[in-house]
Amino acid sequence: MENGAAQPVIVAIDGPSGTGKSSTSKAVAAQLGLSYLDTGAQYRAITWWMVTNGIDIDDPSAIAAVAGKPEIVSGTDPNAPTITVDGTDVSAPIRTQEVTSKVSAVSAVPEVRARITELQRSIAAGAEHGIVVEGRDIGTTVLPDADLKIFLTASPEARAARRSGELKGADLHSTREALLKRDAADSSRTTSPLAKADDAVEVDTTDLTLAQVIECVVTLVEEKRAGK
């Protein structure tokens, strides 16, 4: 069966920061001709908008009141994913420390999650060849009927090493502390916490190279497609 004739497949990849989620998801989507969606970028985008517009991040009701205002558009080409807010390219500003430090608080607000979840579902539904969607609650909340759910894990040490490699000059110890703090915030929030779906395949990436993780996930997707 030619790839072009393959059934569209929806792949959910969840897991905490530093497990190789983004790199893996993008590479798998590119290799298999699927669309790609980084849901974390959408939460960062709405957080950036809140910060830019002077919304009090410590006041959930203030955040909730304006959650519907920004227009967030995600480009789903895995080779060149884009994200804009009200027509402005925010791919760089959403990665700043200021946004990173506030994204858990904004993401925890139920109105924000409802808004972004709806956006994610419409993007997945519109992906004609299928899509790889990465995040923290995709398999559990956003796309519970995804064809394949993968949960990436890694030791806190491995994750901190990868993260500090990404964040130039970051101190390993403080990076690890920040990751664990964010895990705790994301896992304990009331609305759609970071959690592994019961039917997800867990892949521990601690001792794997990125190439090995990609190969593993590509194999899982191909097996799923073949068995459809």
User: How many Cβ atoms from other residues are within 10 Å of residue 169's Cβ?
Assistant: 5
**Summary mean pLDDT of the chain:** 91
For residue 169, pLDDT beyond 80 = no
Contact criterion met (CB below 8 Å) for 85 and 91: no
- Would you place residue 87 in the very low, low, confident or very high pLDDT band (cuts 50, 70, 90)? very high
Strand order across the beta sheet in which 148-153 lies: 35-38, 130-135, 9-14, 148-153, 201-204
Cα pseudo-dihedral 185, 191, 194, 199, rounded to 10: 160
Closest CA to 45 of 80, 14, 86: 86
- Cα separation, 129 vs 10, in Å, equals 9
